[in-house]
């Protein structure tokens, strides 16, 4: 497992594609996914992109974001947990669930990389 985090629009996906020599075909964009109609996430892709959106989908469906997570994947997530505590109950819970989930993923990852202005810093 490898984890890439960073603020919005910092170039995380561009970095991952280049660093691992992958293409758009290797990317599962979690923003396009919901559990509606019994759908399951396609975690056969190498890159799980916008994982923070998957965490929200999981919360809405009442499942754990770690449940279907494969042993090997490149997880990319926006760092959404540094701002002011949101007033909205669901967004507030989402922010916390992202922090917990990504900390758990970081623990089982062989590398954690933070992207800042398009540049990587390996923090694990």
Partner 1 sequence: MIIYVSGGCKNGKSSHAEDWAIRLSGGKPLYYIATMIPHDDEDRARIRRHIESRAGKNFITIERGMDIAGVIPELDAGGTYLMDSVTALLGNEMFHDGIIDADAADRTVRDLKALTGSVANIVFVSDFIYADQGLYDEFTDGYLQGLAHIDRSMAEIADCVVEIVLAQPIIYKGSLPE
81 binds partner 1 (CB under 8 A): yes
Stretch touching partner 1 by CB under 8 A, among 20-28, 42-50, 58-66, 73-81: 73-81
The contacts of residue 110 (CB under 8 Å, 6+ apart) are 1, 2
82 binds partner 1 (CB under 8 A): yes
Nearer to partner 1 by C-beta: 12 or 46? 12
Cβ at position 95, least distance to partner 1 in Å: 5
CB atoms closer than 10 angstroms to residue 81: 17
83 binds partner 1 (CB under 8 A): yes
Q: CB–CB of 30/57 below 8 Å? A: yes
97 binds partner 1 (CB under 8 A): no
Q: CB–CB of 13/76 below 8 Å? A: yes
* Interacting residue ranges for partner 1, rule: CB under 8 A: 6-11, 78-84, 86, 91, 94-95, 116-121
């Amino acid at each position: 497992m490898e984890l890439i985090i960073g603020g919005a629009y910092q170039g995380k996906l561009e970095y991952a594609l280049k660093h691992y020599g992958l293409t758009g075909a290797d990317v599962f964009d979690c923003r396009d996914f919901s559990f509606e109609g019994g759908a399951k996430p396609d975690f056969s892709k190498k890159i799980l992109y916008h994982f923070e959106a998957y965490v929200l989908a999981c919360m809405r469906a009442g499942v754990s974001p770690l449940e279907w997570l494969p042993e090997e994947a490149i997880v990319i997530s926006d760092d959404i947990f540094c701002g002011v505590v949101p007033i909205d109950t669901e967004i507030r819970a989402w922010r916390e669930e992202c922090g917990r989930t990504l900390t758990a993923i970081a623990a089982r990852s062989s590398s954690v990389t933070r992207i800042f202005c398009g540049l990587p810093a390996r923090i694990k």
